[in-house]
Chain A
Amino acid sequence: MHMADALISPAVGGTMWTATAGLIAYSARKVKAAADDRAVPLMGVLGAFIFAAQMINFSIPATGSSGHLGGGMILAILLGPYAAFLVMASVLVVQALFFADGGLLALGCNIFNLGFFPCFLAYPLIYKKIAGGAPTQRSVMAGSLIAAIAALQLGAFGVALETVFSGISDLPFRTFVLLMQPIHLAIGVVEGLVTAAVVTFVWKARPEILNAAEGFGRIGSVDMKKVLWGLAAVAVIAGGALSWFASSNPDGLEWAMFKTSGKEELESRDGVHATAAVVQERTALLPDYGFRKSEAAPGADAGQPWPAVDPGTSVSGLVGGALTLLLAVLIGLGLRRRKSAA
């Protein structure tokens, strides 16, 4: 499940970008330090494999729906966490750029959700513990299944948190989580089964590959403490910096509070943030707060929304909007005509 630019706030996007950038830098250093010449071409080609494999669908019995491979777990098993994280990031970069899956700002979130959880949590803490030492068909199966489910549950939870923190969607946190987790339980089971089956297939056909991967993965005995401390530091610094920025920017206010509390607008009105609101009103003529809904609890008298419905504003908004749209289109067409005339 991809996060989309349309649903995140700059603060959330920025924080996740910082965290992801840190992880990429750290992983790249690890891969470089391992000094295995083979790593870089192998990573690139495996990324292409995951990309191609994701396009192949298979039917899920008794559901009428179809599934495909996600790939994070397989990559981690074949390459070890660091290289796998970089490859997963590349797959998502290409998807963001070419298929607009997610978008540029949400890329940080997506890499984190789909890369960090399988590579840095599920693989070392679950898969390695179960199937690490001397893999058997059973342990590979169990390890992949549990690890994939855990990774997807965490990833889904990440999506829910990021969406709610961004405050663009109205979906209450609890509803969202209740929606996301079961869906991703199903997806996780499928992903786990596919991962297990493909890994077992490769292992049976050419056992030396997994053994080699095991050796290759030695770059990969994750120093979890370091990673987690680093991440915590990044989160605190970036979150702090960005929320400071956000609170000097009235629109970002929602970020600081849970949307579900449904109170932030009121508080922002009469609290310390009143000044900020004034600044906002000065800088933006007829700001979008004009459309803010009432803070009355749902079910209360909906006939008296705050601010009062002002037909004038609505009309001028509509007219202006249409005009601007027309203008943008005209500019585009004009430039094109000039270009083709030239």
Chain B
Amino acid sequence: MNNIGRNSFDIGYMDTLAGGDSYLHRLDPRAKLITAFLFIVAVVSFGRYAVFALIPFLVYPAVMISLGGLPYGYLLKKVLVVSPFAIVIGIFNPLMDREIVMQIGGIGISGGWISFASILLRFVLTVSAALIVIALTGFNTVCLALTKLGVPRPFVVQLMFFYRYLFVLTDEAERMVRARSLRTFDAGAMRFKTFVPLIGHLLLRTLDRAERIYLAMRCRGFDGRIPMIRSLRIHFREVAFVTGWAVLFTVLRCYNIPLLLGSLVTEAFR
């Protein structure tokens, strides 16, 4: 499998996860989206040197992954694989900010390293929150939630089309790339001269396909609106879910639990 195949396989797998049937899967997608958003805002609202205060937030992904029956290892790998920008930018912090602000067993730790650790921790938290939403909900249901949350319909509808044809087109792209690599003997990326007609043909085929899809839609009475039967309802459990997490995030935001806990323990041993 080449890179393209792996990526679309990945998306497909996330969708399979979303097909699960747990309490969290059944929850109204709006509740999950809003909670994830609150979580992310709470996490990023911490100051740049916050490290310990962020640790308790790990409870959110831990609970969601466990209750949703999602595979820890897979999600963790996904989080680790996708971090170039944050790390590249974050790594400058230890270089720029070298003042020692903490001593552990005689080793001085600079502010830069702490803020770098903070960036990495933020990264893990925010990324896993996003991945969890999609793995528990599925893309199309997220789209549905978006319409219900007031996102303009043309945008959501084309988003759904995009998702539908993403698999078809990555497949097509993969076949073209494979066909090319089977007939070349240098392992590297393709040359610009090959790349342009390949992409060009893919684009032409895409435009033709769009035309055929449009035709298929017209044949079934399409007149500019995409009708769908779906109902979403907010029950008590959705309200409880969002409120519960919101309260917890607020508490974790205001009280530095690890420090509290730590000073309790160290006091006890003193």
Contacts and interface: CB of A to CB of B under 8 A. Distances in A.
Q: In the complex, are there CB atoms of A and B closer than 8 Å?
A: yes
Nearest to A333: B66
B190 A309 contact: no
Name which of B3, B67, B112, B158 has the most chain A CB atoms within 10 A of its CB. B158
B229 interface: no
B219 interface: no
Contacts of B204: 202, 205-206, 209
A32 B104 CA distance: 61
B162 interface: yes
B97 interface: yes
B199 A198 contact: yes
Interface string A3-41: 111111110010000000000110111011001011111
Interface residues of B, number: 133
Contact of A331 (B53, B63, B198, B261): B63
Contact of B262 (A104, A311, A323, A329): A323
A320 B101 contact: no
A312 B267 CA distance: 10
A27 B153 CA distance: 11
Given A90-B158, A251-B46, A335-B66, A316 B266 contact: yes
Contacts of B120: 6
A170 B93 contact: yes
Interface string A60-86: 110000100100001000000000001
Given A40-B157, A286-B256, A336-B66, A291 B37 contact: no
Nearest to B89: A169
A128 interface: no
Interface string B140-165: 00100000000111110111111111
Contact of A1 (B45, B85, B95, B155): B85
A44 B262 CA distance: 52
Nearest to A106: B126
A97 B36 contact: no
B158 A97 contact: no
A341 interface: no
Chain B's interface: helix, strand, loop or mixed, by majority? helix
Nearest to B190: A58
B198 A56 contact: yes
B101 to A, nearest CB: 5
Nearest to B134: A97
B260 A4 contact: no
B213 A45 contact: yes
B255 interface: yes
A285 B86 contact: no
Contacts of A206: 204, 207
B199 A103 contact: no
A255 to B, nearest CB: 11
Interface string B91-106: 0110111111111100
Interface in B100-141: 100-104, 108, 111-112, 114-115, 118-120, 122-123, 126-127, 129-131, 133-134, 139
A94 B195 CA distance: 24
A316 B52 CA distance: 10
B45 A96 contact: no
A320 B86 contact: no
Interface stretch (A46-54, A149-157, A221-229): A46-54
A105 B79 contact: no
B182 interface: no
B158 A47 contact: yes
Contact of A332 (B63, B98, B159): B63
Given A69-B199, A194-B199, A339-B69, A305 B100 contact: yes
12 contacts: A37-B214, A43-B158, A49-B206, A58-B190, A103-B130, A169-B119, A170-B97, A205-B200, A251-B46, A285-B256, A319-B266, A321-B258
Interface of B: 3-4, 7, 10-11, 14, 22, 36-37, 40-41, 43-53, 55-56, 58-59, 62-63, 65-67, 69, 72, 78-79, 82-83, 85-86, 89-90, 92-93, 95-104, 108, 111-112, 114-115, 118-120, 122-123, 126-127, 129-131, 133-134, 139, 142, 151-155, 157-166, 168-170, 172-173, 177, 188-192, 194-200, 202-204, 206-207, 209-211, 213-214, 217-218, 222-224, 226, 254-263, 265-266
Given A251-B45, A292-B101, 4 more contacts: A175-B92, A197-B192, A316-B266, A333-B66
